[in-house]
Amino acid sequence: MRSSSSLFPAVLAGFVAVLVGYASSAAIIWQAAAAAGASTQQIAGWMTALGIGMGVSTLALSWWYKAPVLTAWSTPGAALLATSLQGVSLAETIGVFIFANALILLCGVTGVFARLMKLIPHSLAAAMLAGVLLRFGLQAFSNLEGHILLCGSMLAAWVIAKAFAPRYAIVATLLAGGMVAWAGGDIVTNRIGFSVVLPEFIAPTFTFTTLVSVGLPFFLVTMASQNAPGFATMKASGYPLAVSPLIIFTGGLALLLSPFGVYSICIAAITAAICQSPDAHPDVSKRWLAAAAAGAFYLLAGVFGGSISGLMAALPLSWIQTLAGLALLGTISGSLYQALHNETERDAAIVTFLMTASGVTIGGIGSAFWGLVLGGVCYALFSRLRRA
């Protein structure tokens, strides 16, 4: 009985992680695919292949390592593609996917990325994670303006459940919000449909200008803005797994599925934090069950890839954002404690946190990367001055 009661929050955490992942960036991926000239049927096939790829990789890696290893597509990469693929043919787009994923696989085989990740101090990794998640935490409260009944009921349910049954706080939040949204007519059921669309193989074309102008920036953004935060998130959550094997597995699988529209399979950061939090499971060694549940939901989403956009349109955005923010509060507070606990590293950590939270993009690369760079410079300089 006890094990089953512990399993339900883990399954729910996996569901919320997948829901948040799709809700936050599925629309961006559709825009990127449309910019490349893909038809509606082809885009639905891409969503199918992406869901299956993320589901297989999440299930396999979480089971193998018995750790919550959640994979995801590269949201920053999708945003870059959406603005860079105008005038690029569909065959050339597939060539870009293959080129970028081959470079990621090469990084894993050579161990270059693993050596870079070892240089990141734990306090800076935690600060970067807190900075990445800050805007999600803020959304849990900012949505009260304009959605006071829906978001207020969710917040009230979370506070009450957190006081009396903390393990089920997110369950209570989801149910309370769902009932209020349903009663208020905010869930548009006529947009929900279920259809299976098989991925279509597209032969690639490689052109030097496209690979350099789109493929190389896409590779750099994916590694700096998705994989680096993903590994830092795992490290900050207490799962310092070997980097290279994970890069080889995810990069290799993405390379294999590239002709079917899988532009990337990366280590997740924001959604992974939901599965790596104490709310997912009180036992650190059992939180991999939450990621495994997410893998199963990924597969389900992949099978019905053609229905994802309709499902996202049916759910109120404020409900999704509030649910995600409240689910991540424990991770945000824990990350801030780890980041600022060591007084000698506090200044560098707060620089990392604020730079990451700023959301700035420099040279096409997101703030998470620049937060680590600036914080790392401060860390090295301050440490050297203290030793001197």
DSSP string, 119-188: TS-HHHHHHHHHHHHHHHHHHHHHTTTT-HHHHHHHHHHHHHHHHH-GGGHHHHHHHHHHHHHHHTT-S-
Q: What is the pLDDT of residues 84-95, one digit of tens each?
A: 888 889 999 999
Residue 171 pLDDT greater than 80, yes or no:
no
Q: Check whether 163 has a pLDDT greater than 80.
A: yes
3-state secondary structure (DSSP) of residue 66: coil
Does 217 have pLDDT greater than 70? yes
Distance, CA of 141 to CA of 269 (rounded, Å) = 22
pLDDT digits (tens, 9 = 90+) for 228-239: 889 988 988 889
pLDDT above 90 for 178:
no
- Rg of the chain, C-alpha, whole Å: 20
User: What is the Cα–Cα distance from 334 to 347, expressed in whole angstroms?
Assistant: 18
pLDDT tens profile 33-52: 888 888 878 888 898 999 99
Q: In whole angstroms, give the CA distance from residue 386 to residue 388.
A: 5
Q: What is the pLDDT of residue 2?
A: 47
pLDDT of residue 5: 57
Looking at the chain, the whole-number percentage of residues with pLDDT higher than 70 is: 92
Mean predicted confidence (pLDDT) in 286-312: 82
The pLDDT confidence band at residue 311, using thresholds 50, 70 and 90, is low
Q: For residue 1, what pLDDT band results from cuts at 50, 70 and 90? A: very low
Record the pTM: 0.74
Contact predicate 280/71, CB 8 Å: no
pLDDT band at 106 (very low <50, low <70, confident <90, very high): very high
Q: What is the mean pLDDT of the chain?
A: 85
CB 372 within 8 Å of CB 120: yes
